[in-house]
Structure 1
Amino acid sequence: MIGDPVLRLSEVGKGFHGTTVLDGVSLDVPQGQFVALVGPSGAGKSTLLRLVNGMHLPDSGTVRTLGENPAACSRSRLRALRARVGFVFQQFGLVGRLSALENVLMGSLATLRLPRYGVMSYPRALRIRAVEHLDRVGLADRRFQRCDTLSGGQQQRVAVARTLLQSPELILADEPVASLDPAASMVVLEILKRISAEDGISVVCSLHQVELALATADRVVALRGGRLVLDEPAAGLAAERLREVYETARAGSAQAGAGDAQRDGRVGARDG
């Protein structure tokens, strides 16, 4: 199932308000691969994902997503590219008062000309597909249940089914299990992994949990301080090596804090 790259970043740099967020990141993701993107908070994971679908544009380097350069796309072409890229967010983005089925159907709105009100206003073929995708995430029996009565893990599975209705060629997931308990987290990630394997869809999923990354991903890519510091197959990768990415970042933060304190102390002494 592993094929040609669907995503290629070449020496990508990005900053905000004078602060470098990504620094010379190069990364290829082939078709059908599940990639866990890990690293401490502020490492640049979310920024990288937003560069992939053109929500941000790079300051340097190039991004090619499904053969397109988002930075060079016209508005209509960028819209078409985004229709091929599914995005699963930490916050589920569901309409709580609507049923699970109608929330999934909303994933097709970009392809429909007229507004839709209620499940029966969608074409029958779409309704059938929506139920099939709910079945794939284990929620076909909850299709008429209001989303605000579902658990967090169930809501995220509805969000995954909604993404699948787009028939994406690439799925980006930005901390999709950060607000879920460990059991629900594993269910959601195993569903994404199974979909990636069965459909040949590449998945790039940012995570904080080392154990989940190693248990579900084909490949682990780690960012620290905006730089790519590890890129290896998950099989055989020791959890200790992955934890070092976080421990080094914490040690650097502690040293920076100590330096700030020393400088503040010297300034205080001079002021005194």
Structure 2
Amino acid sequence: MTDNAEPKAHFIISKIDHFYSKTPALKGINLKINEGEKVAIVGPSGSGKTTLLSMLNASLQPTQGQIIIHGKSSSQYTSKELKALRSKIALIPQNLALVSSFKVWQNVITGNIGKYGFLELLKNLLAPAKKTLIDIHSILDRVGIEEKLFATTSNLSGGQRQRVAVARSIFQSPSAILADEPVSSVDPARARSLVELLLKVADEEKTTLIMSLHNLELAMEKFPRVVGMRNGSVQFDRSPDQISKEELQELYQLEEKEILEDG
């Protein structure tokens, strides 16, 4: 009976519009993402991908419409509930949000910042329990940089820093991982490796994974569901084998205004 059970919705995005001042960032967005799904969001710069991820993390409320997270509208969560909610939704931002002067283990431990009070966080950053360091070392082993436990983050390569950000999200024990262009600054081989790592983590942890990507090839090859966005609107939402080449070309086609601005 359980095999045929209806999958639970993790996120329901209903009739979302969002404006920055008077500029529309999102227009008429409707999406449902179930628990454990792996979804790639693709589209040109400025299409609204980052804004959408910020709303899924409940760090931004829409101008109109609602986002339901675990059965409750994000606007109805209390401040305390929002803090608890965000502690279960790991966000890997474009800039990775790592503290360069921290040791690797310290950056990983900040994954639990939403679960700690200030004094407890300070204690863990200055004098972590032995078990905490063992747990972090185990996570670093999973992402392939176990030897960097005590390294200073500023001394790491770009690819290693990205793996620290992934390790931080694992340490958070999230129900969902939101990754915003996590491979935009690395070469194709490292990009593929990182996407495969995040997909593996999502499988092992039974975690929902939503990733925005500029790398269309990786999105189409690795994800079972691809959402295409342009000018703040969803253009398609299907499995890769149901998306035509014409749709992909239209998604990235420059409008006359954009061509003139680029020129």
Alignment TM-score, normalising by the size of structure 2: 0.89
- Partner in structure 1 of residue 128 of structure 2: 122
CA contact (8 A) 1:99 1:143 kept: yes
For residues 4-44 of structure 1, the C-alpha deviation after alignment (integer angstroms, 9 at most, x for no partner) is: 21111011111111111111111011121211111111111
| Aligned equivalents of 1:129, 1:53: Cα separation in 2 | 25
- Partner in structure 1 of residue 223 of structure 2: 217
Alignment equivalent of 1:110, drawn from 110, 114, 117:
114
Alignment of structure 1 residues 196-215 onto 2, 5 Å: 196-215=202-221
Question: Counterpart amino acid of 1:212?
Answer: L
For residues 123-166 of structure 1, the C-alpha deviation after alignment (integer angstroms, 9 at most, x for no partner) is: 33322221121111111122122111111011011011011111
Please list every run of 5 or more consecutive structure 1 residues that lacks an aligned counterpart in the other structure: 259-272
- Partner in structure 2 of residue 228 of structure 1: 234
Question: Counterpart amino acid of 1:169?
Answer: S
**Alignment CA distance shift 1:44-1:119 (3 Å):** closer
- Partner in structure 2 of residue 53 of structure 1: 57
SS in structure 2 of the partner of residue 15 of structure 1: strand
Deviates more, 1:146-155 or 1:112-121: 112-121
| Aligned equivalents of 1:52, 1:73: Cα separation in 2 | 13
Deviates more, 1:102-111 or 1:234-243: 234-243
Q: CA RMSD in A?
A: 2.2
For residues 214-245 of structure 1, the C-alpha deviation after alignment (integer angstroms, 9 at most, x for no partner) is: 12212100111111111111346455642331
**Alignment CA distance shift 1:237-1:198 (3 Å):** farther
| Aligned equivalents of 2:123, 2:246: Cα separation in 1 | 51
| Aligned equivalents of 1:146, 1:239: Cα separation in 2 | 45
Count of residue pairs brought into register by the alignment: 255
SS in structure 1 of the partner of residue 229 of structure 2: strand
- Partner in structure 2 of residue 266 of structure 1: none
Sequence identity (%): 33
CA contact (8 A) 1:37 1:220 kept: yes
Alignment equivalent of 2:164, drawn from 141, 158, 162:
158
Question: Counterpart amino acid of 1:18?
Answer: K
Question: Counterpart amino acid of 2:139?
Answer: H
Alignment of structure 1 residues 179-190 onto 2, 5 Å: 179-190=185-196
Question: Counterpart amino acid of 1:127?
Answer: L
SS in structure 2 of the partner of residue 154 of structure 1: helix
- Partner in structure 2 of residue 261 of structure 1: none
SS in structure 2 of the partner of residue 190 of structure 1: helix
| Aligned equivalents of 1:131, 1:245: Cα separation in 2 | 42
Alignment equivalent of 2:99, drawn from 70, 78, 95:
95
Alignment partner of 1:177 is 2:160: no
CA contact (8 A) 2:108 2:171 kept: yes
**Alignment CA distance shift 1:50-1:119 (3 Å):** closer
Deviation, 1:254, is 4.5
SS in structure 1 of the partner of residue 184 of structure 2: coil
Q: Compare CA radii of gyration and give the structure with the larger one.
A: 1
